[in-house]
Structure formats: C-alpha cells, structure tokens
Amino acid sequence: RVARTLAEDTSPGRTADGVPVALLANIGTAADAARAGAGSAVEGVGLFRTEVLFLDRATAPTREEQAEVYAEVLRSFAGRKVVVRTLDAGADKPLAFATQPDEENPALGVRGYRLVRTVPELLDTQLAALADAQAATGEHPWVMAPMVSTPVEARDFAAAARRHGLTTVGVMVEVPAAALRAEAILAEVDFVSMGTNDLAQYVMATDRLRGELSDLLDRWQPAVLDLVAATARAGAAAGKPAGVCGESAADPVMAVVLAGLGVTSLSMSAGAVPLVRYALAQHTAAQAADVALAALAASSAPEAYAAACRALRPEV
C-alpha cells in the first residue's frame, strides 16, 4: 500500500521545507517519452540519450528523421523541461559511421562531444534537427553536450547551439577536468548536468564495464562526492542549474546527499522517482546538508554510505 501511495504522489520534488529539486526522467526513445510523460509524476526529461537513434544503423539518421523523433518527445512533455543530449557515441557505444574501431583506449578517445573533431557534420545536423523540432512544436528544448573537458569546448558547443537558435545550452560534467573547472565552464553555458557514471569511471580510473572493479566504481567513493560537491557549489555561485543525471540520482539515500550538496535536479529512470521524492520530502535542506557532510567526512565508500544512512531522518 505504501508503494502505491508513493506512486500516486505527483507533487514536484521538494525538501521538507520546500526547496525545489526537480525530479526528471532519463529516456532513450520517443516511446520512453510517451510512457514517462503520460502521467505527471516526473517534471520533465533530464537526459534524452539521443545516441539510441543512431545505434545499429549503417548511416546516421537524416535531419528530417531526427526532427520527427525530437518533436514527438517534446510533444510528450509539452510545457515541461526536456534536456536533449547530443550524440554520445564512442567507447562503449560504437557507431559504424562515426567512431574509430582501432582506438586502444576508447573511453579516453574520440567519444561524445569530441566527435566534432572527426565528423563535425553529425553535430551540425543534429542541432539543425533539434531547431526544426523546436519550430514545429513551439517547445524550447534544453540541449547539452556529453564528454566536455574544457571551457573552450563548452564555449564552442554553446556557440554552435545558439547559432541554430537553441537558447538554453549546457554541458555534462562527467570528466574530472570539467568538475575541477566548473566555474569556468559555467561562465560559458546556462546549466550543467553531472554524469556520475562516467565521472566515477574517470575519477577512479576504473572501467565502468568491469564488474570485478565495482568496489572502486562505487558511487559513494568520497573522491566522486568531492567533485559533485565542487560542481554543485560552482552552480550555486553562478546561479545556474547543476543537476545529476547518472545512476546516483536514482538512489534515495544518495538523492538526499545530492540535495544536501545543492544539486538542483535529479534525473533517473522514471520508476525510481517515487522513492526519491519520498526520501527528499522527509528532510529539510539543512538536514540534507548534514547528511551530505556525514558522507563527505567518511574515508571509504561503504563508510560514506553508512554515515549517510545514520544521518537520515528515521522515517526513511
């Protein structure tokens, strides 16, 4: 019964004292968007992984094909926020027509936004298609680039997106360099979204696909939390949104920590939203900040998790 009650709660994400933390969905297809957008349980889309459109094809989808899918997603979330991520191919998501099969270290190679160096027309077509979808629907998508490492990349991406008439432009923070220089990155863009899956991989120098190293890749590693904290601080200082769209956001205990660090939105698979909403609502912003401090003070991932659990309100 409790699960059903939680699932029926469609109030926006808030701490107990009313500080908003937007609860958003991660999607990969127009069908995902239709499902997640049907109710009002999520406030929008925090990560639309557009690479799904490009996978398992011999050639890239055309501008028209892409525009149609983007418009469908925007219509499913009319009036709500939709963050579209530009193509994140390479590494664990190879593409026949874009990525280089012979890279020795693909996770460190030409992936994500870096594809603009080798196949610039892919990004240009995608931004044009997104602008077409914007014109066709009257909705204003947010757009962000994956795997950005430097403020110069952020500036170049923002300029390209704005040239196409897209007005709210951001980048993912999933490379340690971007987290360390979040203030300079935020000077170039309107928002950032932390990809904690890749951030953990690169901070811990641990392949995210190697199960036997999962203790190092743990989302509770204090070094990962440090970089999330630094990025959230930079967002607050700039007065710009700094969200999380990696798997961390779907963990209700971690969600309280993230809210306590000042993260402004949490994007996750739609099914994880009810428990996260509940956990947030049991804590004031000050209590969430205490939970975050407890986790940051720990010296290992299991200790950080245990410390956060001990600091939670007893209702959770």
Q: Which of 32, 132, 198, 218 binds ligand PEP (CB under 6 A)?
A: 198
Q: Are the C-beta atoms of 143 and 191 separated by less than 8 Å? A: no
Per CB under 5 A, 46 contacts Mg ion:
no
CA distances (Å), origin 271, targets 24, 78, 85, 114, 248: 11, 20, 21, 32, 14
Per CB under 6 A, 282 contacts ligand PEP:
no
Per CB under 5 A, 247 contacts Mg ion:
no
Cβ neighbours of residue 254 closer than 8 Å, sequence gap 6 or more: 219, 220, 248, 308
Per CB under 6 A, 153 contacts ligand PEP:
no
Per CB under 6 A, 277 contacts ligand PEP:
no
Per CB under 6 A, 246 contacts ligand PEP:
yes
Residue with tokens 């460190």: 108
**Distance (Å, whole) CA 122 – CA 126:** 6
Give the binding range for ligand PEP (CB under 6 A) out of 27-35, 196-204, 258-266, 300-308.
196-204
| Segment 156 to 175, residues that bind ligand PEP, using CB under 6 A | 174
Site string for Mg ion, 178-197 (x = CB under 5 A): -----------------x--
Phi-psi category of residue 44: left, alpha or beta, with phi > 0 → left and psi -120 to 50 → alpha: left
Q: Are the C-beta atoms of 301 and 220 separated by less than 8 Å? A: yes
Annotated binding site: 49, 85, 174, 197-198, 208
Residue 309 is a catalytic residue: no
Q: Which of 32, 43, 88, 153 binds ligand PEP (CB under 6 A)?
A: 88
Q: Is the torsion defined by CA of 249, 255, 259, 261 positive or negative?
A: negative
Q: Minimum distance from CB of 41 to ligand PEP (Å)?
A: 20
Three-point CA angle 171, 160, 178, nearest 5°: 25
Nearer to ligand PEP, 246 or 260 (CB): 246
Residues at the contact surface with ligand PEP, assessed by CB under 6 A: 47, 49, 88, 174, 195-198, 245-246
Positions annotated as catalytic residues are 245
